[in-house]
Amino acid sequence: MTIAIYPGSFDPITLGHLDVIQRASRMFDTVIMAVVRNTSKDPLLTVEERVTLIKDCVTPLNNVSVESFEGLTVDLAKKRGAKIIIRGLRAVSDFEYEFMMSQMNKNLNPDIETLFIPAGLEYQFLNSSVVKEVARLGGDISKTVPPQIQQFLAKKFLQKKSAKQS
Ligand code: ADP
């Protein structure tokens, strides 16, 4: 039984993340998507919103589960019996940070290996921040996120706008 863990902020999940998780789900018996609670990134979505949306997007993938966590990824991996941490790797932008994190995780627990899955060609320049910025400005994000995320972001920014006006 091989278990892998795919940690991240997923604020929100994009088609790039989904491509990685679809490919990972074919390689392992179980993949756990682990949504970071204590992110330093000041997320737009609450952790509960991110978990609910991801669950909705991965429904067709029977061996993928979703949970949130606080603390070290290696600790969660150990708790769940996962020997592999999956990370997506986009050209240039991710390399140094991801390499550093993989070394750090190796130091923390040598039994757990990081596996990099290269981002799909069409998702190389896709990240959650750009998606949020375009959505905030009312642009079309249909080629970057699943429809339910598009709808959720539209609603979220509408709420923010009306809260600001009142
Ligand atoms: P984190 O804050 O942990 O970097 P992200 O949600 O930004 O969380 O990313 C989670 C993982 O998914 C990271 O390994 C990141 O490199 C990868 N990733 C992000 N965007 C893409 C994409 N467009 N294609 C493939 N992998 C991606």
Q: Select from 94, 115, 117, 149 the residue to mutate for testing ligand 1; criterion: most ligand atoms less than 8 Å from CB.
A: 94
Closest among 83, 64, 87 to 74, alpha carbons compared? 83
DSSP 101-165: HHHHHHHH-TT-EEEEEEPPGGGTT--HHHHHHHHHTT---TTTS-HHHHHHHHHHHHHHHHHHH
pLDDT digits (tens, 9 = 90+) for 53-99: 999 999 999 999 999 999 999 999 999 999 999 999 998 888 999 99
- The pLDDT score that the predictor gives to residue 126 is 95
Report CA 131 to chain centroid distance, whole Å.
13
| 14: its two tokens | 């994009």
Q: Say whether 93 is catalytic.
A: no
Which pLDDT score is estimated for 161? 81
- Measured in Å, residue 164 CA sits from the centre of ligand 1 at 31
Q: Which protein residue's CA is at the shortest distance from atom 16 of ligand 1?
A: 88
